[in-house]
Amino acid sequence: MRLIYESGAGLDIHKKTVVACRMRVNEAKRIEWEKRTFGTTTTELLALSDWLSEWSCTHVAMESTADYWKPVYNILEGDFEVLLVNAQHVKNVPGRKTDAEDAEWLAELMLHGLLRASFIPPKPQRVLRELTRYRSTLVRERARVVNRVEKLLESANIKLSSVVSDVMGVSARAMLSEIAAGNEDVQALVELAKGRLRKKMKALEAALSGVVDEHHRFILTKQLGHIDFLDEQIEQMSEEVSRQLERMSHPSVDGQAASEATGVSQHQPQQESNDLIWTEAVSLLDTIPGVDVRTAEVILAEIGLDMSQFPTAKDLASWAGLAPGNNQSGGKRYSGRTTKGNKPLASIMSQAAWAASRTKDTFLKARYHRLAARRGKKRAIVAIAHSMLTSVWFMLSRRQPYHEWGGDYYDQRKKESKVTYLTKQLAKLGFSVRIEPLPATA
């Protein structure tokens, strides 16, 4: 088999150790290799880098093992072409499973160019990823605490969630604070209602008449304090995300600072050839129904601005895990379950799809109801998320805002067929139909 590279290395990474195998083609045109085990501390990883440089290794391959690959990647990315590969794609022959054999197998595949590297964004984008992912974790934790508040209220015979849509709304939160403070006057609690909630005064009075004990108040106080803390943390994380986007959009004039801000080293070309900056990209994605600024920030943190990483929109959807699987044998097509992909991206796109399905007079809402009637709500949401991600790919590639087709797109697309179908249906019901177009409005 033809050799693609003259020298390379394979790394089998674990929590405490890294088994490395370096290979090169010698003067006799034969492959020689050497194996060695290193620790995962920074000092040991620097020694690994020096050891690989001794043989002038240009490419290094390693498996994406949990988060253990990140310290190794941080040390090697500046000096070598590091390929992070999917462990499922490079399984060794059964019966040859040792750490040293795994490292040797990776190195051999590397020399022959048989590895497909995973997408690893530049460092500033990885920083943005960590910020947005942690913010999403805080948001999920807040939702869990809110659910615990509702569960506590049920145990105290307080049916507030049956009357209000959000127990953390302005009115409901004021009532909960008074309950936690020991106020047992139901009338005083009801008077805290504001806006449209005041139309439900009698229902509120019945819902707030419960059996609240001292331990309920104690737990509720702690839960409300926890929610306030999480709100503050989420707000601070959002501010830091905005600052990171500004730093990436307006890099410093200094060479080193510019390299860190753009994620492009002085030895590699600029990736964002269309000159689209991050803050502008957030504004572009914000034009999609169901996508707000926070959602746009998460999407960009996961996929970046350079769509050349994904040759087509279908490649991006497959990478996100929003494309149907391909399972066919003997002329039969089996389960089309979606493939595994980027979970944070798939999750945020599904949330955006649910939001888009509730918008007014939009193509996405019409498409959702069209699919949900035939395939069910969950499949329809995956299809809507796929459509939205496809739009994201084209918007970033062409630097254009979202184009809305309208909620009547499907009716207008085949207008004559729709008119004919409805006319036949009325005729079956015994009506005589005569079609006359409305006069054009000025």
Tokens at residue 291, please?
């996508």
In this prediction, residue 271 carries a pLDDT of: 42
Spatial CB neighbours of 259, under 8 Å, sequence gap ≥ 6:
265, 266
Q: Where are the alpha helices (DSSP H) in 307-376?
A: 313-320, 343-356, 363-375
> Which three-class secondary structure state does DSSP give residue 8?
strand
User: pTM, whole model, 2 decimals?
Assistant: 0.84
Position 253 confidence tier, pLDDT thresholds 50, 70, 90: very low
The answer, yes or no, to whether residue 324 has pLDDT greater than 90, is: no
For the chain, domains (ranges, CATH) are 7-111 (3.30.420.10), 126-248 (1.10.287), 272-398 (no CATH)
The answer, yes or no, to whether residue 93 has pLDDT greater than 90, is: no
Average pLDDT, the chain: 88
Quick: pLDDT tens for 37-91: 999 999 999 999 999 999 999 999 998 778 899 999 999 998 999 999 887 777 7
Distance CA 40, CA 68 (A): 9
Burial of 86 per CB tally in 10 Å (0-12, 13-18, 19+): middle
Distance CA 406, CA 428 (A): 31
Spatial CB neighbours of 336, under 8 Å, sequence gap ≥ 6:
324, 325, 326, 327
Quick: pLDDT tens for 139-182: 999 999 999 999 999 999 999 999 999 999 999 999 999 999 99
Quick: pLDDT tens for 263-274: 544 444 344 444
As a residue count, the chain comes to 442
Residue 173 carries which side chain, given as an amino acid letter?
Answer: R
Tokens at residue 210, please?
């419960």
Tokens at residue 429, please?
């019901």
What is the pairing mode between strands 59-63 and 81-85? parallel
